[in-house]
Amino acid sequence: MGGLRDLAGLLLVGLMLTGLMACQAPTTDSPTTESVAEAPVDGTAAGQQAAQEPLLITDGTVVTMDAVDTIIEDGAVAVVNGKIVAVGPASELAAKYASARRVSADGGIIMPGLINTHTHVPMVLFRGLADDLKLMDWLENHIFPAEAKHVDEEFVRWGTRLACLEMLRGGTTTFVDMYFFEDAIAEEADRCGMRAIVGESLIDFPTPDNKTWDAAVAYTRDFVTRWQDHPRITPAVAPHAPYTVSADHLKEAHALATELDTPMVIHLAEDRAEIERVTKATGYSPVN
């Protein structure tokens, strides 16, 4: 365990030395606009002042991703109080926001942040552990045992910090996650200023954070209740998969998500082995 934490620390230091201090105060130097659409989350006076200071991102091509795919050559984006307030030609916005702090895109693309629609962010610390294997071999013979041995809340926090730094560096500002200790993942994602849909995993065997199904359901209920009204963090119910969660428990998970009016995320029809396993056990394919 110590080796994994040491590795995480070295990787984090290496990234931070390149100027990626996003988990203390999200960078505004990325060529994406979504990464600066939220106020910095550090509590210092300087951070609070920066959050309120008008910002103008210039010297780039704005790819708006609007309904008609508008592209603005030599465009700009204005941000005030942590919100995007104007998008248009650089000359117009420069005149309107003359006193704004300037960030140059250096001729790059200025666009909304990218979205990673499926993650297990702390598993960045398992990178390279077992590559080029079929899913069930990788999962049941390598990942599940490694998680049982190594994963705790501290592991999850370090992994989430590293994953958030890597995502922000590449322009990803929103992710959809499913893992354990999801409350800690939500806290770290919030601290990094990211948006996330975060799902607490429900599985029919003991996990690092909950040893019984009932304990996991209780944890999930409390977790969803805590984060439900957050402006950037959306909690979710996350039964792992049809081959790790019984039909009755899948129904219970769906009922919980419906009751709490929150999303449900799940692995579904990931590979041929899963389809064959589920079909043999139930007579139906995973998507029926």
What percent of the chain has a predicted confidence (pLDDT) above 90? 80
Query: What is the average pLDDT score of the chain?
Result: 86
Write out the E strands in 81-187.
Answer: 83-89, 101-104, 109-110, 114-119, 172-179
For the beta carbon of residue 42, count every other beta carbon within 10 angstroms.
Answer: 18
For 7, the 3-state DSSP assignment is: helix
Number of domains in the chain: 2
Residue 18 in any domain: the answer is no
181: domain CATH number is 3.20.20.140
Shared domain for 44 and 92, answered yes or no, is: yes
As a whole number of angstroms, the longest Cα–Cα distance in the chain is 67
Residue 141 has pLDDT above 80, yes or no: yes
86: tokens are 């104007």
Residue 17 has pLDDT above 80, yes or no: no
Burial classification of residue 52, based on how many CB atoms lie within 10 Å of its CB (0-12 exposed, 13-18 middle, 19 or more buried): exposed
89's CB contacts (< 8 A; 6+ apart) are 72, 74, 75, 76
Band of the pLDDT at 236, cuts 50, 70, 90? Answer: very high
Residue 79 has pLDDT above 90, yes or no: yes
DSSP tally for the chain: helices H, then strands E? 10, 9
pLDDT, residue 97, reads 96
Residue 28 has pLDDT above 60, yes or no: no
Specify whether the CB–CB gap between 85 and 78 falls below 8 A. yes
Express each pLDDT in 142-200 by its tens digit: 999 999 999 999 999 999 999 999 999 999 999 999 999 999 999 999 999 999 999 99
Shared domain for 196 and 259, answered yes or no, is: yes
48: domain CATH number is 2.30.40.10
Q: What is the amino acid identity at position 175?
A: F
Residue 250 has pLDDT above 70, yes or no: yes
Shared domain for 63 and 202, answered yes or no, is: no
Q: What is the pTM of this model?
A: 0.81
Task: Tell me how far apart the alpha carbons of residues 69 and 65 are, in angstroms, rounded to a whole number.
Answer: 5
Across 28-52, average pLDDT:
45
Determine which of 10-24, 40-54, 125-139, 255-269 has the lowest per-residue pLDDT on average. 10-24
Residue 47 in any domain: the answer is yes
Q: Is 231 left (phi over 0), alpha (psi -120 to 50) or beta?
A: alpha
285's CB contacts (< 8 A; 6+ apart) are 269, 275, 278, 279
Shared domain for 125 and 64, answered yes or no, is: no
pLDDT, residue 288, reads 79
Band of the pLDDT at 87, cuts 50, 70, 90? Answer: very high
Which range of residues forms the domain containing residue 257?
114-282
Specify whether the CB–CB gap between 278 and 286 falls below 8 A. yes
